[in-house]
Amino acid sequence: MSAIPHQFRPDEGFAQALDAADPLGSLRNEFAIPAGPDGAPLVYLLGNSLGLMPRSARAIIEEETENWERLAIDGHFAARVPWASYSEAINPALARVVGAEPDEVVAMNTLTVNLHLMLASFYQPDGRRRKVLMEDRAFPSDRFAVASHLALRGVDPSEAILVARPLAGEETLRTEDIEALLEEQGQEIALVMLAGVNYLTGQWFDLGRIAEAARRQGCKVGYDLAHAAGNVPLALHDWDVDFAVWCTYKYLNAGPGSIAGAFIHRRHGSDSSIPRLTGWWGQTMADRFAMGPTHHPAQGAAGWEVSNPPILSLAPLRASLEQFDRVGMPALRQKSEALTGYLAALLSAIPDPPFQLLTPGDPGARGCQLSVQLPGRGRELNDRLRAVGIVPDYREPDVVRFAPTPLYNTYTDVWRVGQAVRAVLTPPGA
């Protein structure tokens, strides 16, 4: 199915035939699909901002509220999934999503808090090696976190943040240009801090290749996987990445503001020489409840925890990870390529389109997102689509993002989007 553009037909029957043959089609029934004012399900293409609710999340949340009601403090050890070891219970599934070992991941805090914690450990300026390499159009919170951290450490962000920019006339970064930048300035770069998938353009960076190029220059490597975790295949352990952070409310469907995740490579997990900000929960279970004056960090990523995890935030993540484990990233990726390729084909079939596609045309360089730049009319397109029951995402000043998500979007959803965009942008009588 990933070769849809080569067998493409623009009629609705083609979309319906694809849905009928979709082996993952029944997954849609496992999600609560919002309805419009007319009661019809919306075409929701905003999983890159907030994923839909797995129906099973309600029961798992209710299980924990009942434990709270029935067991109170004893829920830490007497609940079916004890609260004291709740994170450890989900680590294997979380690790499979990001290509890690279970001891290399932990669910904790929020994404930007985790980024601050990782910067405290892995940004270690030394002499002229003080720079942080980031991408142009990095998500603002990443830029704010890095800049504020550098300033706190007495490093001027305006001098120390090195921004990789696309070539003139292009919208996305070339891997070879990032490699060239590392080759030229690598001895001055302390940390490479990039997104896995850029939030605005939808570009999926070649994370393994970039990490290898950074290591050749002696740079630490960290990734923000907010738009990558649950979207594209990842192999953080094999890529030898130093750390990564991500949220779980986008493609991982764990609910608004839900708990975030962090990865610390196993080679750092028992290294007591790495500085870190600590709290009582980042210790071994025995030391955690001994309440002693000396911090004894747990092995692996768990040693970076600072506080006990919010159980009511972890609960829906359990529901989501069960789905990812059951289906598997390879199958999701196959459908993702097909859905996004189908949408790209529908948009490219619009005659004389007044928009520019910011997302790479190569399926291997994007996840399930297409970003359309429509100068002067982006807001109009977004509003008119919403008026007919299609929910994309609008980013100032003129970008509309579409994210056909393989867990719950259909080919008919995508066909409807193509038809609606054409209707908005095609002049009358054309």
For residue 67, what are its two tokens? 């434990």
Q: What angle do CA 245, 97, 115 make, to 5 degrees?
A: 5
| Residue 44 a catalytic site member | no
Instruction: List the catalytic residue out of 250, 276, 318, 333.
Output: 250
| Residue 139 a catalytic site member | yes
* CA atoms of 351 and 429, how far apart (whole Å): 12
Backbone angles phi and psi of 129, in degrees to 5: -85, 90
Who's near 163: CB < 8 A, 6+ residues apart? 134, 135, 136
* CA atoms of 246 and 189, how far apart (whole Å): 23
* CA atoms of 402 and 207, how far apart (whole Å): 23
Backbone angles phi and psi of 41, in degrees to 5: -60, 135
Instruction: List the catalytic residue out of 199, 249, 355, 408.
Output: 249
Query: Could you give the 3-state DSSP secondary structure of residue 162?
Result: strand
| Residue 220 a catalytic site member | no
Instruction: List the catalytic residue out of 139, 199, 205, 243.
Output: 139
Helix (H) or strand (E) holding 385: helix 378-387
Identify which of 348, 396, 385, 384 has the alpha carbon closest to the alpha carbon of residue 5.
348
For residue 51, what are its two tokens? 């994923």
Give helix 140-152 / helix 111-122 axis angle, nearest 10°. Answer: 40
Adjacency order of strands within the sheet including 393-395 = 356-357, 370-373, 399-402, 393-395
| Residue 224 a catalytic site member | yes
* Spatial contact of 236 and 100, defined as CB atoms under 8 Å apart: yes
Instruction: List the catalytic residue out of 22, 103, 142, 224.
Output: 224
| Residue 205 a catalytic site member | no
Query: Residue 330 burial (CB < 10 Å; 0-12/13-18/19+)?
Result: exposed
Instruction: List the catalytic residue out of 242, 401, 402, 416.
Output: 401
- Which of the residues are catalytic? 139, 224, 249-250, 401
